Chains A and B, each alone.
Chain A
Amino acid sequence: MTELLIPAIVSCVVAFFVVYFMTPPLIKVLTQRNFAVKDMNKIEDVMVVRPGGPSIIAGIIASEIILYAFLQLNEILAIIITTSAAFVIGYVDDRKVMKGWFKPAALAVAAIPIIVFGAYDSDLAFPLFGVVQIPALYLALVLFMIPITGNTINSIDVLNGVASGFMVIASFTLSICLFIVQNYEIAIVSLPLGFVSLAFYKYHKIPSKIFPGDSGALTLGAMYGAIAIVGGVEIIAAVALLPAVINSFLFLSSVKRIVEHREIKGKPVIFTDDNKLEATNDKSAPVTLVRLILAGGPLSEKQVAFAIFKLGIFSGILAIITAFMMDVSL
C-alpha cells in the first residue's frame, strides 16, 4: 500500500496541473478559430468556446502513463486506449454532426481493448447476495457499459459546470469505494479522473469559459466506465452515477428513441422574466432531470447545478454504503 503512495501523488498532481495549465491556452486557440457555441441557458447571446476535450485527454493520458511506468498493469493500457478512443469519437462528433446511433455504436467498439487486454473479471459482484458468474454475458456487458457511461455523462452536460462537477463527485466516490473493497491499485488508477475533472471544473463552472463538448464528456464517461469494469465495481459505479442515469432514462423514456439533443425541437426549460429557469409545459419537450428539479418552481442555473450536485453526493453516499455491503452476505 505505501509503495503506491508516490505514483498516486505524482499522477494526481500531473492530472490536475496538465488540465489546469493547458485549458487557458486551449480557450485562446478556440476563441481565435471562433469555435464557439451559444450558451442555451442564458437569455442574452453568450458565446462559449468548445471543446475542452483535448486538455482533459492530455491530463488523463499524462497521468495514466506515469502510473503505467510505476505499476505496469494491462488494466491501465486498456483504460488509456478506451478513453482515447472515446475522445476521438467525441471529437468527430464535435466537428461534424453525426447521427444519434453513431456514438453508442462507436463507443461499443472503443470498449474492445478492455476485452483484448483481458482487463476484466467476468464475475459480477452484488451487495448482500454475492457473485454471479456470467462469462459470456459479461462480454456483452463490457460492450454496453462504455456507451452507457459515456452517453450518460454527455447527456448531463446541460448546464454550466454540471458535467465536470458531477464527475468530480462520482469519480472520487468511485475511488473511495475501490479503497473500501481493497482494490488499491485500481483505486490509485482512478484518482486522476477526479483531479482532471476538478481542474476542468475551474473553467467550466458558472459562468463557463469553455464547454467540454462531446469529446470531453465522452472521455470522462468512458474512463469512468472502464475503471468500473477493470475494478470489478460495476454495480457501485452505477449507484454513484444514478442522477445521470435517471436523466438519461427520463430523456429516453420521453422521446422513445436514441436521438441527439440538438434534434429535439421542444426545449425542456424556458426563462422567466428575472432570468431564472422554469420547466416548460410543452408536451413535445423531453423530460429531463433539470425539468424534474424545476417542476417545484423556477430556479437560477446555479441553484439547479447545486441541486444536481446534492443528488450526486446523495448517490455517492449510497455507493459507499453499497461498497461496505459487498462484504456482507445474507
Chain B
Amino acid sequence: MWVLIIIGGGILVTILGPITVTGFGDLDWFIASVIKGVIAIILVVVWILILSKLKNFIFKKEINS
C-alpha cells in the first residue's frame, strides 16, 4: 500500500499536475480541475481494485496454509 501511494504520487505530480487547459477564458482553471479530478477518481478506483485483488490473494494464502 505504501508503494502504491508513492507511485500514485508520482503519477499525480508528473502527469496529472502539469495538465492545463486554454481557450475557455476564466473557466480554464475550473475545466483543468474537473479533468484532474476525473482522472484522480479513476486512479483511486484502480487503486481500490488492486487492493481488493491483494486482499483476496492474502486471504486465500492464509486459508490454504
B62 at the binding interface (Cβ < 8 Å): yes
Q: Residue B13 contacts which of A126, A292, A295 (CB distance < 8 angstroms)?
A: A126
Q: How large is the interface on A (under 10, 10 to 19, 20 to 34, 35 or more residues)?
A: 20 to 34
Chain A 77-91: CB-based contact to B (< 8 A → 1; otherwise 0): 000000000000000
On whether A292 and B17 interact (CB within 8 A), knowing A137-B36, A235-B9, A238-B5, the answer reads no
Check if A206 is an interface residue, CB within 8 A of chain B. Answer: no
A136 and B13 contacting across the interface, CB-CB below 8 Å: no
Interface size, B (range) = 20 to 34
Q: Do the beta carbons of A133 and B10 come within 8 Å of each other?
A: no
Q: Known contacts A132-B17, A242-B2, A250-B55: does B36 contact A126 (CB below 8 Å)?
A: no
Contact pattern, A 126-141, Cβ under 8 Å of B = 1, otherwise 0: 1111111111110010
Q: Determine the distance from Cα of A249 to Cα of B54 in the docked complex, in whole angstroms.
A: 12
Beta-carbon nearest neighbor of B33 in chain A: A136
Chain B residues numbered 4-52 whose CB sits less than 8 Å from any CB in chain A: 5-6, 9-10, 12-14, 16-17, 29-30, 33, 36-37, 40, 48, 51-52
Chain B CB within 8 A of A253 CB: yes
Residues of A within 8 A of B9 (CB): 126-129, 235
**A220-250 with Cβ < 8 A to chain B:** 235, 238-239, 242, 245-246, 249-250
Contact partner of A239 (CB less than 8 A), chosen from B2, B13, B30, B62, is B2
Complex Cα–Cα for A246 and B55 (A) = 10
Within 8 A of B (CB), among A273-299: 287, 292, 295-296
Point out residues on A near B: beta carbons under 8 Å.
Answer: 124, 126-137, 140, 235, 238-239, 242, 245-246, 249-250, 253, 287, 292, 295-296, 315, 318, 322, 325
